Structure 1
Amino acid sequence: MKPILTATLLAMTVGLSACGGSDSGEAVVAPPAPTPTPTPVPTAGFSKTAVWEASVDPKLGELCYDIDAQAAADCKGDAWDLKVKDDGRSTGFFTNSGTSGAAKGGALGSPFDSTWADLKKWQDGMKDPVSGALDVSSYLKDYADGVFTGTNAIKSAAFEYDLAGDHKLSPNFKVFLISDDASKADAKQYALQVVGYYGGNGGTASGYPSIRWADRASNNERTASFDASKAWVYFDLAKGAESTEAGTWHVAFNRYSMKLNSGASGAGTVAALLAKTPEGFYTADGKPVTAKFADTNNLAQTRALLTAADLLPAKAKWLSDKNASPLNPAMKGNYPEPMDAGWYNYYSTLDSAKLAGLAAAHMLKANPTAATMIRSAEGNSFARMHLTEIKYADPSKASSAKTWKFEFDIQPKL
C-alpha cells in the first residue's frame, strides 16, 4: 500500500452569543439594540487566519505549507513556506531559505523569545511594535549546522552582526581548514578566511562575500569575491572558480550563509574544522570586541594566520554539514525532567507525562504559548504561528503517528 500524506486546512470562524434574564419580579427594560459591528475590511495587516493539521508519514519524510494559499504545498516546488520533516526518529521544522531552499523565507530572529500574545500585537511583519522597523536580516535563514555555524544571533562563525548599531556584517577573519576528504590522510587541504561581505554597487551592496585561501601544500594565497545576494554560489577551491551544485565544489555561499559539499549540504566528501581565531576579536567569554572589528588594518594583520604551520590540531575533529533551522531550538531542561523544545514539551517519564495529561512516557505536548513569525518564500507576506496540539494516532503509544496542528495569523502580500 502506498503511504498516505495528509494535510487538512480548516476554516476558522468566531461566533459571539449572549443571553440574559431576571426572576426578581421587577420590570425588565430591554436595552437598546447594539450597533452592528462593521465587517472588517482586509488590510495589509494580519487579516487572515488558518489552521493546518500536518500528518507526516516517515516513509515519505516531509510535508509543506503555503501561507499565501493557506494550503499544503509541493515540497519540491518553490512556493512552500513551512516544512515539517520526520525521519522516523525526530521531527524538524524548516523555512524556504538558506540551506533548506533558495527562496526568501526565514524565521524572526530568536524564535520563541516572543509569546503568541506578544506577536498578536504586531500589525506588520516588518515592524516590531516596540523597537520599530526591521530589515531583511531580522528573518534568519536555515543554515548548515557545521563548522560555519556560530552561536551569535545570525548563527554565523564567520561574521558578527550589528556591532556598531548599523545592521552591518563584519568578518572575524577566522581560519577554517578544509579537506577534500577527511577519511584520507593524503587528501588536499585548504586554509580559508572570509574577509568581506560588501561589493556590487560601489562596494556597498550586501551579499557579496570575499574570501582568501591557500592550498596547504604550496601556501600560495588566492582571493575571490562573488555575488551571492540572490542565490547559492558554489566555489571550487582547487580551480579557484565558481562551479554548480552538480559539479565539483568545496564551499557555497548564499548571502552570509555558508555550507560544505558534504552531509546534508552536498553529495561530496568535504569536511572542515576551525583552525585559528585571531587574537583580540573576542573577550575571554566570547563576546565580540567592537573596536577591534572596526580596525581597518585587520585584513593585513590576519594574513599570516592563513599559512601558519600549526593549523591542524593533533586530534582533528572534522565536521560535515547537517541541515538546521532557527525553528528547531536546542532543548532546555535537564533529563529526565520535562524538557522544552520551543514548539512542545517532552516528557521522558510516565509520572511526568501523566501530570501533563498524557498516557505514556516519551510523549510530546504542544506549547501554544510559544510562537514565532515566518516570512513567505516570496518575501512579501508573513505569518505568526504557534503549535496548538499534537495528536497521537494511538494516545497510549508514544511511537504512534503524530499530527501537528498549527494556527496562523497571516499578513497577505500587498
Structure 2
Amino acid sequence: MKLRLLALGSALVLTACGGGGLDTPIAVATPSPAPTAAPTAAPAKAVQWQAQLPAAGSAVCFDFDAGSEVACSTANWDLKLASAARGVSLWSNSGESGSGKGGVFGSPFDYTWSALQKWQAGLLDPTTGQAIPDTLYLKDTADSVFTGSNGIQSKAFEYGVGGSNDHKLYPNFRVFLVTTDHSAASATGNSTSPVYALQMTGYYGGPSGTTSGYPTFRWVDRSVAGAPVRNEQVDARTGWVYFNLTSGQAVAASDAWHIAFNRYNVKLNSGSSGTGKVGGFLAKTPAGFYAADGSTPVAAKFTENNILDTTKSELTASDLQLPTQASQWKKDSVASKLNPAYQGNYPGKLDFGWYSYYPVANGAIVAHSQVANPDRGTLLRSAEGNSYARVRLKEIRYATPGNVSSQQTWQFEFETLPASK
C-alpha cells in the first residue's frame, strides 16, 4: 500500500534557558524529617478526550481547560484531530492552523510520558529549575523551503550559536532560489518567469538597530544578466509582511506577492500559503557554517568579521545547485511539531510518534492497524496562551476489534499545568 506521508519533518528542541527558580520553602515551627525525594505536584486537572476519528476531510477539536470537545469553528480549541483519505494529523491552535495563541514544546519523539510527569509548570524546566522562554512553544507554521529541522524550525537562521547564554538569531547565508512559476523546469528563468537567488542576512533592526523581528534579506534576479543585488529590511514583529521581489516593495496580502515574513518565519505564495505558483529550492550552504555532520553550527563562522560582505558573492556563484525538473521546486504546506516524520521502513512497522502503523500483520496485530504509543507525549499551550498541558495518546480502539475499517476512537489524556509553579 502506498502511504501518503502526512507527518512532517521533526526537529530538535532548544535547550531551556532563562531566569527564575524554585519557590522559597515556608518555615514551620516543628521540624519535620526531610523527604527522601522532592514531591511531585498534583496536576491542576486531568481530563480524557474520547475522540471519534472523523471522516476523511473532517476534523474534531478539544478544549483541555474546559475538558470538553468543542467545534473547530470556535476560537478556544486547543488540539485538533484531522483525518484524510490516507492519514491522520494533529494541530495546535496557532500560526497557520488557527487564530489562537497555542504552541507545541517538542514532538512525541522528544519526550516520554514519565519524563513529562516531572513538569509542575508549563514554563519551568524540571531538570534545571529554570524558567524557559514561552517562545519555545512553537506555532504551527508554513512548511516551505525555508523550514528546517533545528530548534526554531528554520533553514535560514540558527539560535544561540554562542552557547546557553546566547539568545540571538544568526543567519547562515544559505542561497535559496525562488521562482515565480514552479511549473518551470529549469532555474535559468525567462522574461515571464524570473528566478531570484535570495539570502536572509539578519534579524535585528528598527530605530535602535537591535530590536528583534526585523528580518533583512538580499536578492538578485538570476534570469537577467548583470542584475544588481538588492537589499531590504521589513518590520515583521506583529504579523506577516508580504513582499514582491520584482518591484522590491511590501504589498498587501491581496496583491501579487512572492515571499512573506513573520519574525523569522518565511513562506512563499503557493500551496497552503497562497494562490500563486511561487516555488523554492535550496541551492547552496556556504562553506564553514556547519560541522562535518551538516547540522552543528560553527560559532566562529557565524560571528566572523565581515561575514555579510564575504558571503554576498554566493548569490551569483556559478556552483549553485539547480533544480533539473519542475517537481524539485518546493511548494508551501503546513507543519506542526505534533506531526513528526515517521520512523521505520515499509513494509515493517512505521512509527509516527503518537502511534505505530502496521502495514502487515504482526502477531495478534491485524494488518493496517494503528496502535497507540502511550509512553510518548508532548507539552501543549492553550489557545488562550495562559495555560499548558502534557498530553498523550493513551489508546486507539476499533468499534469491531480486528476490523480496521470500523469506527476508531482515539483516547487522549491531558494533565493541565499553570505557566509557573
Task: Describe how 1:279-298 pairs up with structure 2 within 5 A.
Answer: 279-286=287-294, 287-298=296-307
Q: Secondary structure at the match of 1:391?
A: strand
Corresponding letter in the other structure for 1:333: G
Letter of the 1:386 partner, please give it: R
Q: Distance in 2 between matches of 1:77 and 1:201?
A: 39
1:71 alignment partner AA? S
Of residues 111, 121, 125, the one that matches 1:124 is: 121
2:159 to 158, 161, 186: 161
Contact 2:113 2:374 in 1 (8 A): yes
Structure 1 unaligned segments of length 5 or more: list them: 1-43
Shift of 1:274: 0.8
Q: Taking structure 1 as reference, are residues 208 and 77 closer, same or farther at Cα in structure 2, changes over 3 Å only?
A: farther
Residue 47 of structure 1: CA displacement? 0.6
Q: Which moved more, 1:307-316 or 1:366-375?
A: 307-316
Tell me whether 1:346 sits opposite 2:346 in the alignment.
no
Q: What is the SS of the residue equivalent to 1:300? A: helix
- Aligned-partner Cα distance in 1 for 2:232–2:405: 50
Q: Structure 1 residue 208 and structure 2 residue 214: aligned?
A: yes
**What SS class does the counterpart of residue 208 from structure 2 fall into?**
helix
Whether the aligned pair in 1 keeps the contact of 2:60 and 2:80 (CA below 8 Å) is yes
C-alpha displacement of 1:275 = 1.3
Residue 96 to residue 208, structure 1, CA distance change in 2 (3 Å) = farther
Higher relative contact order (CA 8 A, sep 6+): 2
Map Cα deviations across residues 211-254 of structure 1 (whole Å, 9 max, x no partner): 11122244222222223233222222122222333332111222
Structure 1 residues 260 and 163: CA distance shift in structure 2, 3 A:
same
Normalised to the residue count of structure 1, the TM-score between the two structures is 0.81
Percent of aligned pairs sharing the same letter: 50
| 1:324 partnered with 2:310 | no
Distance 2:47 2:73 in 1: 23
Deviation at 1:413, TM superposition (A): 6.9
For residue 100 of structure 1, the aligned residue among 91, 97, 100 is 97
Of 144, 157, 175, which residue of structure 1 is paired with 2:142? 144
Whether contact under 8 Å (1:98, 1:257) holds in the other structure is: no
Partner of 1:38 in structure 2? none
The Cα shift of 1:412 comes to 5.0
In the alignment, does 2:313 pair up with 1:304? yes
Matched-pair contact (CA < 8 Å) for 1:45–1:412:
no
Quote how far apart the aligned CAs of 1:371 are.
Answer: 0.8
Alignment of 1:1-400 (within 5 A): 46-131=43-128, 132-165=130-163, 166-184=166-184, 186=190, 187-200=193-206, 202-218=208-224, 219-286=227-294, 287-311=296-320, 313=322, 315-316=324-325, 317-352=328-363, 354=364, 358=365, 360-400=366-406
Over 3 Å counting, the alpha-carbon distance change for 1:168 and 1:400 in structure 2 is: farther
User: Structure 1's 67 and 205: CA in aligned 2 closer, same or farther, altered over 3 A?
Assistant: farther
- Alpha-carbon distance change, 74 to 368 in structure 1, aligned in 2, over 3 angstroms: same
Pick which of 101-110 and 263-272 moved more: 101-110
3-state SS in 2 of match to 1:371:
strand
* 3-state SS in 2 of match to 1:351: coil
Structure 1: how far apart are the matches of 2:202 and 2:42? 37
Give the TM-score of the pair, scaled to structure 2. 0.80
Aligned 8 A contact 1:98 1:254 in 2: no
- 2:57·2:82 contact (CA, 8 Å) conserved in 1? no
With over 3 angstroms needed to count, the CA separation of the structure-2 counterparts of 1:251 and 1:169, relative to structure 1, is: same
Distance in 1, Cα, partners of 2:305 & 2:135: 24
What's the counterpart of residue 25 of structure 2? Answer: none
Q: Distance in 1 between matches of 2:104 and 2:72?
A: 18
Q: How far is the alpha carbon of 1:322 from its aligned partner? A: 2.2
Match of 1:407 among 376, 400, 413: 413
Asked whether the equivalents of residues 349 and 359 of structure 2 are also in contact (C-alpha less than 8 Å), the reply is: yes
Amino acid paired to 1:339: L
- Residue 290 of structure 1, CA deviation: 1.0
Deviation at 1:276, TM superposition (A): 1.8
Q: Deviations over 1:57-79 (max 9, x none)?
A: 23442222223333333434443
* Residue aligned with 1:197, SS: strand
User: Could you tell me whether the CA contact under 8 Å between 1:65 and 1:83 is conserved in 2?
Assistant: yes
AA of the residue aligned to 1:229: R
Deviation at residue 133 of structure 1 after TM alignment = 1.6
RMSD between aligned residues = 2.3
Q: CA deviation at 1:155?
A: 2.0
Task: Return the offset for 1:293.
Answer: 0.5
Task: Report how many residues are paired.
Answer: 366
Secondary structure at the residue paired with 2:135?
A: helix
Flag the 1:393–1:269 CA change in 2: closer, same or farther, 3 A: farther
Per-residue CA shift, 1:284-328, capped at 9, x if unaligned?
321221110111311111111123345462625211122121111
